[in-house]
Amino acid sequence: MTLSLLMMLLLAACGNNVAEDVFTHLEQAVELESTFKQQQEVLKAAENNEQQLYEEVIDLGIDEFEKILSLTEEALASIETRESAIALEKESIEQSYEEFQKVEAFENEINEGEELEHYQTLREKMKARYDSYQDLHTAYIESINLDRELFELLQREDFELVELQEKIEEVNESYSSINETRDVFNQFTEEYNESKQAYYSAADLNWELNE
């Protein structure tokens, strides 16, 4: 039995009006992001693998071209793994947000005052978080495409050094973009979680975590 289910059972026993329905959808949205969290490890492992392969390729001479081809093919396969992971990650975020949006149906039933204010704040924070994820996803897809172009370039025997340098600069810029958009996403995630807890408190949802 999951923590969220245990918490929902506790609330059901307390009979806490419309706030219980909001709570249920919010915590189900959390559950639906489990795939998103799982794919983070897949992406990290693939990224580390590709970095290692890149370093190995750079250390090889043109007389070891067959080895270069083998390593770059392995890197391209790893990139495909990342593409699959990022697709699953996005699907998870979309499903979670769709579940979250179900709380909109309860807005007119929520008590005015502090409870309603916190409810509206958490909606705003989740929307900002969702939008920032779209930016992160776009940046990541662009970076994946540049990584692929880099390894495909390394598979050519006739590439120019300046061409390689330009591609490396593009790749590095894309990494910077990912880091920036990820920071924004993480910040909105933190703010959303804080606003959710504030809403729970204002709605008198006194629940406790059970291991």
List the chain pLDDT tens, one digit each, 211 residues: 444 444 444 444 344 578 889 999 999 999 999 999 999 999 999 999 999 999 999 999 888 999 999 999 999 999 999 999 999 999 999 999 999 999 999 988 888 899 999 999 999 999 999 999 999 999 999 999 999 999 999 999 888 999 999 999 999 999 999 999 999 999 999 999 999 999 999 988 865 433 3
pLDDT of res. 15: 42
The answer to whether position 126 is within a domain reads: yes
pLDDT of res. 206: 63
Q: Say how far apart CA 33 and CA 38 lie, in whole Å.
A: 9
Cβ 95 vs Cβ 32: under 8 Å: yes
Q: Say how far apart CA 78 and CA 90 lie, in whole Å.
A: 18
pLDDT of res. 50: 97
Is 34 strand, coil or helix? helix
Q: How many domains does the chain have?
A: 1
Distances (CA, A) of 120 to 16, 104, 126, 192: 19, 10, 10, 11
Cβ 36 vs Cβ 99: under 8 Å: no
pLDDT of res. 211: 34
Q: Which domain holds residue 164?
A: 3-202
Rg (CA), the chain: 23
pLDDT of res. 18: 84
The answer to whether position 210 is within a domain reads: no
CATH code, 105? 1.20.120.570
The answer to whether position 169 is within a domain reads: yes
The answer to whether position 40 is within a domain reads: yes
The answer to whether position 211 is within a domain reads: no
pLDDT of res. 62: 85
Question: Tell me, what amino acid is at 4?
Answer: S
Cβ 181 vs Cβ 4: under 8 Å: no
- Please give the structure tokens belonging to residue 45: 């492992």
Q: Say how far apart CA 116 and CA 111 lie, in whole Å.
A: 6
pLDDT of res. 8: 47
